[in-house]
Amino acid sequence: MGTFFDLFMGNQQWIYTLVLIGLAVIMGGAYFIRSLIRGRERFDRVEKQGGSALLSKEMMEAFYWFLQPLGKFLVYCRITANGVSWTSFVFGAVAGLCLAFGHFGSGAAFATVSAVLDSLDGLVARMSHTASDAGEVLDAAVDRYAEFFFLGGLVIYYREVPVLMVLTLLALAGSFMVSYSTAKAEALHVEAPKGSMRRPERALYLILGAALSPVTIPVFEATSDFPIPIGHPMVIALCLVAVLANVSAVERLWTVAHAMRLREAEAARVAAATAMEEHADAQEHVDGHKVTR
């Protein structure tokens, strides 16, 4: 029992870092070779979302290319998209629990599995021809909960360092506001700016920050003024998300509000023009009636 606990929640957190880096190198190398031989793989979802200054389209293409055989395998095993979503939820909750105890490596590993499954549920739904609006609602809800578990776990862990706890709360607020502004734009049929700090991008930086922290803690925090190991890569990732996500959210909300003002102004102009035409028609009718008399 002690060995099991040490493996998943103990001090050997750097093992998860090595595994995640190894998988990333293998995936990136395989896609690079594939691109040299057959060219880049194109995906409609990647083209629709577009890349950003911090997360290129090539990186997104490599990830979605990696997901294709996994999606086909899940469909072959008759695993439903909703089942994938709920499994993503469970792994996201476990990731948050790990982070709440300061186990950055295992937290990053479980969050990675959750993020991969989160991307797979929609793919499985499309491959199995079971995509539905209800499934999209579940997918969106699991996204929010998984992100809350990750950042909520860090809020608990950083409770002894108020400045880092506030920083994590700002990252949480920015993350939710980016998602809210995008959803609001879609509900109002307004094209939201692609911008930065969408869900995949936030997940990448936060998971990377958690994964690298077990490596830096023994090196840079052998002696520290903080009561707990803070994990400098994790703090850097939180700073990035806290600042850029809130800036992106403000930009998106301003764009949506501006588009709505233009729409309302156009609607008012059309209504005024229609009223003038109706008034002119009525006046013409009255004048015609006088001439007849």
pLDDT at 57: 80
In this structure, are residues 75 and 124 in contact, taking their beta carbons and an 8 Å threshold? yes
Q: Which residue has the higher pLDDT, 161 or 291?
A: 161
Handedness of CA 259, 265, 271, 276 (dihedral sign): negative
Q: Token pair 């035409």 is at which residue?
A: 277
Question: Which residues neighbour 189 within 8 Å (Cβ) at sequence distance 6 or greater?
Answer: none
* Token output for 104: 């950055």
Q: Which residue has the higher pLDDT, 174 or 199?
A: 174
List own/partner pairs for 162-165 with CB under 8 A and 24 or more apart.
164/230, 164/235, 164/238
Q: Place 212 in a pLDDT band, splitting at 50, 70 and 90.
A: very high
pLDDT beyond 80 at 190:
yes
Max Cα-Cα span within the chain = 105
Is pTM, for the whole model, over 0.75? yes
Q: Which residue has the higher pLDDT, 97 or 291?
A: 97
Q: Report the 10 Å Cβ neighbour count for 239.
A: 16
Nearest-10 crossing angle of helices 199-220, 232-292: 160
Per-residue pLDDT of 26-39, as tens digits, reads 888 888 888 888 88
**What is the identity of the amino acid at 245?**
A
pLDDT beyond 50 at 3:
no
Q: Place 2 in a pLDDT band, splitting at 50, 70 and 90.
A: very low
Q: Which residue has the higher pLDDT, 8 or 262?
A: 262
pLDDT at 288: 62
Number of domains in the chain: 1
User: How far is Cα 85 from Cα 125, in angstroms, rounded to an integer?
Assistant: 11
pLDDT beyond 80 at 218:
yes
Give the domain extent around 243. Answer: 2-292
In this structure, are residues 165 and 156 in contact, taking their beta carbons and an 8 Å threshold? no
Per-residue pLDDT of 97-141, as tens digits, reads 999 999 999 999 999 999 999 999 989 999 999 988 888 899 999
In the chain, the percentage of residues whose pLDDT exceeds 70 is 91
pLDDT at 1: 41
Q: Place 291 in a pLDDT band, splitting at 50, 70 and 90.
A: low
Q: Report the 10 Å Cβ neighbour count for 125.
A: 22
List own/partner pairs for 3-11 with CB under 8 A and 24 or more apart.
8/98, 8/106, 9/98, 9/101, 9/103, 9/106, 10/103
* Token output for 20: 């995640």
Q: Of 128, 123, 117, which Cα lies nearest the Cα of 76?
A: 128
pLDDT at 290: 58
Identify the CATH number of the domain in which residue 281 sits.
1.20.120.1760
Q: Which residue has the higher pLDDT, 103 or 20?
A: 103
Per-residue pLDDT of 154-178, as tens digits, reads 999 999 999 999 999 999 999 999 9
Per-residue pLDDT of 220-268, as tens digits, reads 887 778 899 999 999 999 999 999 999 999 999 998 899 889 888 988 8
User: How far is Cα 244 from Cα 195, in angstroms, rounded to an integer?
Assistant: 10
Q: Which residue has the higher pLDDT, 99 or 5?
A: 99
Handedness of CA 217, 219, 223, 224 (dihedral sign): negative
pLDDT at 79: 93
In this structure, are residues 153 and 221 in contact, taking their beta carbons and an 8 Å threshold? no
Q: Report the 10 Å Cβ neighbour count for 227.
A: 8
- The secondary structure of 23-52 as a DSSP string is HHHHHHHHHHHHHHHH-----HHHHHH---
